[in-house]
Amino acid sequence: MKIAPTYYKTLLFTLSVIFIVIATANAQDFMDILRKPTDTDIEELKPEKPATEKKQESNGKKFSKAKSTDNKKAQKNNDDDSTAATSRGVRVLDGKAENSIVGSDAVRVKLGGDENTEAVEDKKNAKQNKKNTKKDKNAKKEQAKEQKQKAEEKKKPLTIEEQIGEMAVKKNQEEENAPPKISPMPNVNLDFPSISFDEPDIYYGNSADSNFNEKEELENSNPYQANTSAQSNNSAKSKKVPTTIIELSNTEKSNTEESNNQTNEYQFEDNSPQAAATDAFADNLPAAISNLIAKHQVNKENFSLIIQEVSRDKPLASLNAGKLRSPASVTKIFTTAAGLIAMGDDYRYPTRFFVDAMPDKDGIVNGNLYIQGGGDPFLVEERLRDFIKELRGKGVRHIAGNIIIDNSLYKLDLNEKDTFGFDGNQYSAYNAVPSPIMVNFRTIKIIFTPAGKKGVNISLSPQINNWQIDNQMTINSGKCSENFNPTPELSRDDKGFAVLRLTGKYSTNCGKSDISVVMGEAVEQMYYLFRDLWYAEGGSFDGRGEIGVVPNSAELIYTGQSLPMSELVQKMNTMSNNVMTRQLMLTLGAYLYDVPGNLEKGRKGVLETLTAFGVATDGAVLDNGSGLSRKTRISAQGFSSLLINMYRSEKLREPFWNSLAVCGETGTLKKRFKGTAMQGKIRGKTGTIDKVRGFAGYVQAQSGRVFVVVMIGNNNAALPSRYMQDDVLSWVYQQ
């Protein structure tokens, strides 16, 4: 059978189509083999994952989906870039475009998987940078917040304890940087008798005898004043309070004995300027006075004397009248006279009480109570209690705020507050440093109460909460006079908290006993004493104690007044009270030259006031105003001109005259000429420190005449001149 040509044509066409289709399919498979496997291909070839991994993968599903989308976009970009690169003559190898030179430019294009990886890394970096930026912002916010808190805390008033802590840190830092302290008294004797306003019991006989038997002591000068029940029971038998002694170790005793045997003892140098003495005060000694000087072996070079009738301009006797001497406590009449002249005999120191708001009908002060110190030198517990009663009388029952102590009347530098440098007895009453808010002469009472037969309880008055007591006392049942010698030591940390350590012996036979010491800061003593008395009088308050300044917005609610100046100077001169006199000089500076006062203003106030009053102050050097100093220098002529001018003043004669100790009756003169015709006929001020003996005052002679007598002996003339004083006073009385 013959097949038609049309059939062959159709068959041939069909076979051709089939061949083309098969060829095309094979070519695609071949290309698939040659192409780089995709992520999908790889995933299909991987074995099936365990269930745990599937769970983890499920948790990251969103992230994987986002990544897959990014890969697809990147793949599309790769294809486009590959095409573009090929058209520019750039070879594509493993998804990377390699350079071909087109003209003068060399181009490198990143394609495929590398570009995809970089995009992911860029996103990661961007995200991390965002996190870091946010973290930095948060850190800055926290830092700013901390700085703000610190600023607010800095503005917030510190408590009394915190402020005292700061002072303690500052003091410690300055002491560490300061050179070692060297006592100006190498032969000081710490074995003092009990505090007494009397001069020492000494031999008044013929001082030609070389065996002088006088204790070297300070006026008012044992380290602590002791008061025991055993002492009070035996007061009828003995007028003296049993001795409280700082016991020396064997080494200290040896050192003291050696120093007493040295010839280069402390000497007052003669390098201070000579005060100009007028011709009227040229050396002029009656034969009787010359004989007394020879009899008592007084070195004239170290001794000054003036005897002058108050109604005459020329002295009866004069020796080294213009020579500047160290006068010890005779200095006090300079300071007290200046106070009477400048401030008046009726001046009263104010202690002011302010409140943020007057008490409401229930007696509540909604705010702070401010206590502003006015420098009252005789603010004692009894008077403070009276002030509190007056406050209560003003309607104050409760203080909702804090108690703020304002002691800004005058300022003292740290070295001017030193209680150690003079003689090492930093806790003794005579070394107390003044304060505008001083109470009880800066003393703290340490009370010893027997606890059974083998113990003793120790407490404080006032009770200071931030003081911890470390009782290291040795207890026995011996004689009280021989077994009561407590030795206190106060140490303080930088937070203001203190440890009071007590060592020494205590006999249970002493019963309840106490000692008064100068310890701590005046502001904490005032705060705690006021708080105790406030509670005792039925008051209450919510806050705490702080040191600050009275704001202008505060209202004055009460002013407590001191004793009049005439009574205060009497206590200063008769009792030779150092801290009261120092307080007077500092407040005088603030009174005359504005607040805050300081030592420089006080010294200026005393000297300028006395100079204007006609006192010879040429070359005079004042230190702290009390005479408890190695730096003070005043001439005998300076003291005599003061005494004469005060006597000639109708207004000031009586308060000044009455301020002086009376022979045989009061103060530092009460043992002299007692029971004789001269008792009550001599008034004056004595001066006694190591290498200094002095007297300045008035003698009412049996003839009715009144004389001024000034005697000052320094160095090797000190002790002999002290023995000679009574002989000279007896001679003047007979004129």
pLDDT in tens, 82-120: 444 444 443 333 334 333 333 333 333 333 344 456 666
Are 606 and 545 members of one domain?
no
In a domain, 211, yes or no: no
Structure tokens at 299: 């070195």
Are 662 and 724 members of one domain?
yes
Whether the bond into 596 is cis, omega within 30 of 0: yes
Closest CA to 225 of 515, 439, 419: 515
In a domain, 178, yes or no: no
Are 707 and 577 members of one domain?
yes
In whole angstroms, what is the distance from residue 337 CA to residue 626 CA?
12
Q: In what order do the strands lie in the sheet with 498-503?
A: 467-471, 498-503, 487-492
Choice among 190-194, 330-334, 696-700 with the minimum mean pLDDT = 190-194
Specify the pLDDT at position 571.
95
Residue 482 belongs to a domain with what CATH number? 3.50.80.20
In a domain, 119, yes or no: yes
Instruction: Enumerate the β-bridge partners of residue 683.
Output: 662, 698
Q: How confident is the model at residue 75 (pLDDT cuts 50, 70, 90)?
A: low
Are 550 and 598 members of one domain?
no
Are 586 and 715 members of one domain?
yes
Domain limits for position 100: 73-156
Q: How confident is the model at residue 354 (pLDDT cuts 50, 70, 90)?
A: very high
Q: What does the DSSP assignment read for 603-670?
A: HHHHHHHHHHTT---TT-B-SSSSS-SSS-BEEHHHHHHHHHHHHH-TTTHHHHHHHSEETTTSGGGT
Are 343 and 354 members of one domain?
no
In a domain, 401, yes or no: yes
Closest CA to 355 of 341, 370, 377: 370
- Alpha carbon separation from 136 to 121, 128, 130, 132, 133 (Å, rounded): 22, 12, 10, 6, 5
Closest CA to 651 of 343, 334, 309: 343
Q: How confident is the model at residue 150 (pLDDT cuts 50, 70, 90)?
A: low
Mean pLDDT, range 605-617, rounded to an integer: 96
Domain boundary among 507, 533, 561: 561
Tell whether the model's pLDDT for residue 311 goes beyond 90: yes
In a domain, 199, yes or no: no
Number of domains making up the chain: 3
Angle at 542 between CA 536 and CA 546, to 5 degrees: 90
Closest CA to 198 of 692, 578, 667: 667
Q: Rounded to the nearest 10 degrees, how much is the dihedral formed by the CA atoms of 574, 579, 580, 585?
A: 110
Handedness of CA 377, 381, 384, 386 (dihedral sign): negative
Are 471 and 377 members of one domain?
yes
Residue ranges of alpha helices (H) inside 249-347 are 250-261, 287-295, 332-343
Domain boundary among 130, 156, 182: 156
Residue 682 belongs to a domain with what CATH number? 3.40.710.10
In whole angstroms, what is the distance from residue 303 CA to residue 691 CA?
12
Choice among 82-91, 462-471, 636-645, 653-662 with the minimum mean pLDDT = 82-91
Are 499 and 477 members of one domain?
yes
Residue 408: partners with Cβ closer than 8 Å, 6 or more residues away: 436, 549, 595, 596
Tell whether the model's pLDDT for residue 255 goes beyond 50: no
Instruction: Enumerate the β-bridge partners of residue 272.
Output: none
Domain boundary among 119, 136, 156: 156
Q: How confident is the model at residue 139 (pLDDT cuts 50, 70, 90)?
A: confident
In whole angstroms, what is the distance from residue 501 CA to residue 486 CA?
10
Are 542 and 573 members of one domain?
no
Specify the pLDDT at position 645.
96
Are 337 and 366 members of one domain?
no
In whole angstroms, what is the distance from residue 421 CA to residue 232 CA?
34
Are 492 and 526 members of one domain?
yes
Are 378 and 396 members of one domain?
yes
Structure tokens at 193: 């008798």
Specify the pLDDT at position 237.
34
In whole angstroms, what is the distance from residue 534 CA to residue 539 CA?
5
- Alpha carbon separation from 332 to 98, 226, 542, 574, 612 (Å, rounded): 106, 26, 44, 10, 18
In a domain, 713, yes or no: yes
Whole-number average pLDDT of the chain = 76
Q: How confident is the model at residue 730 (pLDDT cuts 50, 70, 90)?
A: very high
Q: How confident is the model at residue 206 (pLDDT cuts 50, 70, 90)?
A: very low
In a domain, 11, yes or no: no
